[in-house]
A and B are shown apart, each in its own frame.
Chain A
Amino acid sequence: DAGITQSPRHKVTETGTPVTLRCHQTENHRYMYWYRQDPGHGLRLIHYSYGVKDTDKGEVSDGYSVSRSKTEDFLLTLESATSSQTSVYFCATAGGTNEKLFFGSGTQLSVL
């Protein structure tokens, strides 16, 4: 398995609080992604990164921000969590010439 670690694995928080999810990879992959998965919607791209300090928005980026200060770490921040952000969040990585995505184990986030 690719060395992708997501933390925390589960989190319950209250509406209006900031939340940061962390993705750490040991594969030295250039590309990193944050997806959310909701019933009936499949996986939807939130943000992605082409390299250190090089990020861009996906299809559902409103309410989320990201940072990538090191190759191995990609952080997803919910500045002020809302109940609509209750979801399972997956981090994924891809190497330089390999289109295969490797996924982390996911983070179950509940916003009450």
Chain B
Amino acid sequence: QKEVEQNSGPLSVPEGAIASLNCTYSDRVSQSFFWYRQYSGKSPELIMSIYSNGDKEDGRFTAQLNKASQYVSLLIRDSQPSDSATYLCAVNPLIKAAGNKLTFGGGTRVLVKP
């Protein structure tokens, strides 16, 4: 069983709508969680990090963490065509420790249609 699971998609959303992405993880000791965005043919870039249960908002992005249920989600509000990309969930058992050995999910491809 893969340690970090994501629906591969594609998740198709109309422009202006909310895109909701989910990620589940198997390691209960995981402490820090990340969302990376990867455009086709490009390298991943960090867009969100979350360490505590609850919501964390940054602009149009909201990360939600529920450690008891072992899932983390990403909401993209007012989706734009420029949000079309693959979103990678990553998990690390260490909290804010350097030298992360992140475990990545397979990614969810998001398509925002004008």
A residues adjacent to B (C-beta < 8 A)? 30-31, 33, 35, 40-45, 48, 50, 58-59, 90, 94-101, 103-106
Contacts and interface: CB of A to CB of B under 8 A. Distances in A.
Nearest to B86: A42
B56 to A, nearest CB: 15
B8 A94 contact: no
B32 A103 contact: no
Interface string B37-63: 000001111100100000000000000
Contacts of B102: 43, 45, 101
B88 interface: yes
Contact of A106 (B32, B43, B99, B106): B43
A95 B45 CA distance: 15
A59 to B, nearest CB: 8
B99 A50 contact: yes
B88 A42 contact: yes
Interface in B93-111: 96-107
A99 B98 contact: yes
Contact of A43 (B8, B45, B98, B104): B104
Contact of B101 (A40, A45, A105): A45
A28 to B, nearest CB: 13
Contacts of A31: 98-100
Given A42-B106, A44-B104, A95 B43 contact: no
Contacts of A95: 98
